[in-house]
Amino acid sequence: MTTGNVCDFEVRRDDLRETRFTTGAAPTELSAGEAWLRIEKFGLTANNVTYGAVGEMVGYWNFFPAEAGFGRIPVWGIGVVERSRQPDLPEGERLYGYLPMSTHLRIRPEHVSRTGVVDGSAHRSALPPVYNQYARLAGEPGYDPAQDDRRIVLQPLLATSFLIDDFLAEAGFFGAKALVIASASSKTGFCLAYFLARRKGIEVIGLTSPGNRAFALGLGCYDRVVPYADVEKLPADVPIVYVDMAGNGDVTRRVHEHYRDGVKQSCLVGLTHWEKGGSLEGLPGAKPAFFFAPTQIEKRRKDWGADGFQARIAAARSDVLRDTESWIRIVHGRGPAALETAYRDALEGRLRPDEGHVLTLLD
C-alpha cells in the first residue's frame, strides 16, 4: 500500500476465521495535537489469537475500532511518525508499542518525554494504561536497532512471563514445589521457564504436543517436558502451580484431577487452543483464575515507581534477547497475502515454535 492509502486487516468478532482487508484514504488534515503513524512492522504470535479470543471480555477490540461486528486484533510493533501536529514529537520518530494490523494509525501523543509518549485518544482513555504507552526508540538507553525484530516478537511475551514469575515468587509459589506450564513450546511458556530456571527450589515441568517436545527440551530451561497424553504419569504427590498458556479445558481438567488439592494456584494466561476451552467449574485444587498482566504492572509501578519498573523490564528484555538468540529465527512477510497466511497459521496452531513472524502491510 502507498503512504496515501490506508489498509486494515479485520476479523469478525464472533468468528475469528472470517477476515477481510479494508482500504481507504489517509486523512488530509490532522487536528492539533495529533500524529499519523506509518506502521513499519509488527509481530504475530499465538498471543494475538488470545487477544481476539478474549476481545469482548477484556476489551481488546476497543483499542482500534472497526465497523460493527468486526474488529482489529492488536499486535506489537514499530510505527514511524509520518505527520505530526504534536510539536514535541517530530516527524521521523520511531515508536514501539500497541498497534493494529494496518498500514497506519492516528494517535494523540500526550505526556511526551525523552523515552516515550502516551496515546491520549478519547476512545482509549478507559483502557489499561500500559497498552497506551509508546517507547521513543531513539531515546532509549542502549537501544539496539539490530534487535528490533526479535523485540517485536518477544517483548510482550517476555514481559508477561516476567510478571507471572514475579507474581508467583512474591507469593512463595503458594507453597508449591513444581510449576507445570501447558503449551511449553509457546513463546510465553518458554520465556516463563527461562525466568523460573534462574530460581532455586522449584521444578519446571512443561506440557506440549509430541511434535514440539524435542524443541522445548532443547531449550534447557525445563527440568522435564512431557506430552499432554502423559499428564497422569507425573508424580501426583508434589504440590504444584499450574500455568495454562493453551486454554485447553480438557488438559486443565486432567491436571487438576491428577494433582487434586496439590494444585496450589492455577493461572490462565493464553488461549493457543482457543476452541478447546470448556467449563472449568468444580475442579479440585485452587480455582483457575485469569492472569491479567496490567494488574500486576500497576501494582509494581506503585511498589517500585515507574522508572524502577521500566528498569526491571528493560533488564529482563536484555537478558532474554541475549540468552535466547538461537531459540527462534525471524520470518519476514510483506503484504496482505503474507499476513493472511501467518494469521491462519496462528489461528489453527500451525506456527512453528522456533520461528517468529515479523510482518508489514506496506509496499
DSSP assignments along 148-164, one per residue: HHHHHHHHHHHHHHHHH
328-358 per-position pLDDT tens digit: 999 999 999 999 999 999 999 899 999 999 9
241-272 per-position pLDDT tens digit: 999 998 888 999 999 999 999 999 999 997 65
Task: Tell me the C-alpha distance between 35 and 87, whole Å.
Answer: 10
Task: Please state the domain count of the chain.
Answer: 2
Residue 273 CA, chain-centre distance (Å), reads 15
Specify whether 136 is located in the same domain as 34: yes
37-75 per-position pLDDT tens digit: 999 999 999 889 988 988 887 789 999 999 999 999 999
Q: CATH number of the domain that 259 lies in?
A: 3.40.50.720
SS3 call for 224: strand
Residue 344 lies in a domain: yes
Specify whether 126 is located in the same domain as 160: no
pLDDT at 279: 64
Specify whether 177 is located in the same domain as 282: yes
Nearest one of 95, 109, 99, 91 to 32, comparing CA atoms: 109
pTM of the model: 0.91
Do residues 69 and 13 touch, judged by C-beta distance below 8 A?
A: yes
Residue 131 lies in a domain: yes
Task: Tell me the C-alpha distance between 47 and 39, whole Å.
Answer: 19
Task: Tell me the C-alpha distance between 233 and 254, whole Å.
Answer: 11
Specify whether 107 is located in the same domain as 168: no
Residue 27 lies in a domain: yes
Residues 6+ apart with CB under 8 A from 66: 8, 10, 22, 72
Q: What range defines the domain where residue 129 resides?
A: 5-143+327-349+356-360
Can you say whether the dihedral through the CA atoms of 307, 291, 60, 343 is positive or negative?
A: positive
Specify whether 169 is located in the same domain as 289: yes
pLDDT at 3: 44
Residue 305 lies in a domain: no
Average confidence (pLDDT) over 308-323: 93
What percent of the chain has pLDDT above 90?
85
187-196 and 293-323 helices, crossing angle to 10°: 80
pLDDT at 141: 85
Residue 81 lies in a domain: yes
Q: At which residue does the C-alpha cell 468486526 appear?
A: 70
Say which amino acid occupies 325. E
**How many other β-carbons are positioned within 10 Å of the β-carbon of residue 211?**
11
Do residues 196 and 176 touch, judged by C-beta distance below 8 A?
A: no
Specify whether 257 is located in the same domain as 185: yes
Specify whether 331 is located in the same domain as 277: no
Specify whether 218 is located in the same domain as 121: no
Specify whether 283 is located in the same domain as 231: yes
Mode of pairing for the β-strands spanning 224-227 and 203-208: parallel
Specify whether 202 is located in the same domain as 223: yes
pLDDT at 277: 54
Specify whether 34 is located in the same domain as 135: yes
Task: Tell me the C-alpha distance between 228 and 82, whole Å.
Answer: 48
pLDDT band at 237, cuts 50/70/90? very high
Residue 315 lies in a domain: no
pLDDT at 247: 82
Average confidence (pLDDT) over 221-225: 97
Residue 239 lies in a domain: yes
Q: CATH number of the domain that 121 lies in?
A: 3.90.180.10
pLDDT at 42: 98
**How many other β-carbons are positioned within 10 Å of the β-carbon of residue 312?**
14
Specify whether 238 is located in the same domain as 112: no
CA 255 vs CA 120, 190, 210, 260: distances in Å = 43, 19, 17, 8
Residue 310 lies in a domain: no
